[in-house]
Homo-oligomer: A and B are copies of this chain.
Amino acid sequence: MMAADNTESGPLAGVKILDLTSMISGPVATMLLADQGADVIKIEPLSGDLVRAMGPNRGGETAGFISANRSKRSLALDLKNPKGLEVLKRLVETADVFVQNFRPGAIDRMGLGEPVLRAIREDLVYVSISGFGEAGPYAHKRVYDPVIQALSGLASIQADGETGRPKMIRTIIPDKTTALTAAQAITAALFARERQGIGQHIRLAMLDTMVAYLWPEGMTGMTFIGKEVNASRAQFAQDLVFATTDGFITAGAVSDIEWQGMCRALDKPDWLDDERFATPTGRIVNVAARLAMTAEVLATQSSEYWLERLDAEGVPCAPVLRREEVIEHQQVVINEILEEFEQPGGGRVRQPRPAARFSATPARIRRPAPALGQQSAIVLAENGFESDEIDALIESGVIRLPTSTSA
């Protein structure tokens, strides 16, 4: 369960991150770092991150915002106001990391380019996340997740097996993979800085991220120069979803032992004599026939019936869970993957704990997602602003406090 206090813990305890990112790729990256103990100060325009108003909500709090911004603190700051820029620069004096995901060039026009901030804090880790990089025909285009799915080959990999029509993945893989890649890169730069005393600029493009992510097995056919393989043939993954009388399961037999186990589980000992399936290679070549035969048998009984038999024979298998089943599945419960806490305004919410478990410096959900500007005043006070300065900034509308509290 979430600890209610602000005690430092986690591998990144003591790291201060100024986070100007919005939407998903940046916020999910810094959320991971916040769960690991970094003090992530989310710097939002006075109108707030757009995600605050997108998707399902309760009491005005959206699930999407909570799930990408828990464990952070919020400073609502008008960066179009020169006084707002000055506030930010004072925060940079003691910051370790600065992250932004505006379109290339925008941050320089705002007056917060790398050279400006480095003059204030020499060993700052300055991070720029973009859709397509900083040059080239796409550099200045708006990026949406499907655009990266299209350009990176992901939509092509997901092409329908029969018609060849490309398909989008129905979850935003490029955004979230960029978040993980950014979090790792930031952490690596913090390590280098700790050891060598140097700051630097990390540049990360979603397009580059996805090509690297897909490559290890998604692009095997493009690896040998001069021996490129027709891409549709180069994709191994089969759709191993099988309908039963009451749902869907997955089951796969790769090794000889697993194949023999499957034939026994399906009560089809005669398949063991079928020469087409006698070797792993044979089972790959004759995959269509094999899967069709398997599907026909599995359709005759319930999921529970087959999972028990397959399991007893050592065949990797699982039910295909609907999302409402995932959260109640015994393995998810035993792993204590999900935590619950009170999100002010939004009521009781469910979140997954950070996946990696650290024995000495545990990562954990540190606090609910912040209200817009919830820590505006305290963050400034921590950074040496006097009460009258803070009052003046509030009165002139440079910073904003939550509507219902005095922070």
Contacts and interface: CB of A to CB of B under 8 A. Distances in A.
Nearest to A188: B11
A50 to B, nearest CB: 10
Given A171-B214, A221-B63, A324 B149 contact: no
Given A241-B155, A337-B207, A350-B223, A358 B185 contact: yes
A211 B326 contact: yes
Interface stretch (A39-47, A128-136, A266-274, A387-395): A128-136
Contacts of A326: 151-153, 156, 211, 219, 222
A67 B215 CA distance: 7
Contact of A191 (B132, B187, B320, B332): B187
Contacts of A226: 347-348
Interface residues of A, number: 154
A331 B210 CA distance: 13
Nearest to A201: B359
Nearest to A323: B231
Given A184-B180, A192-B360, A207-B337, A151 B64 contact: no
Contact of A213 (B151, B153, B176, B225): B176
Nearest to A315: B142
A243 B163 CA distance: 12
Interface string A306-325: 00000100101111111111
Contact of A56 (B171, B203, B234): B234
A135 B322 contact: no
A371 interface: no
A329 B147 CA distance: 14
Contacts of A191: 11-12, 187, 190-191, 194
Contacts of A108: none
Interface stretch (A74-82, A86-94, A245-253): A245-253
A109 interface: no
B223 A66 contact: yes
Question: 6 tightest A-B contacts by CB?
Answer: A185-B356, A200-B360, A136-B334, A63-B223, A11-B192, A231-B323
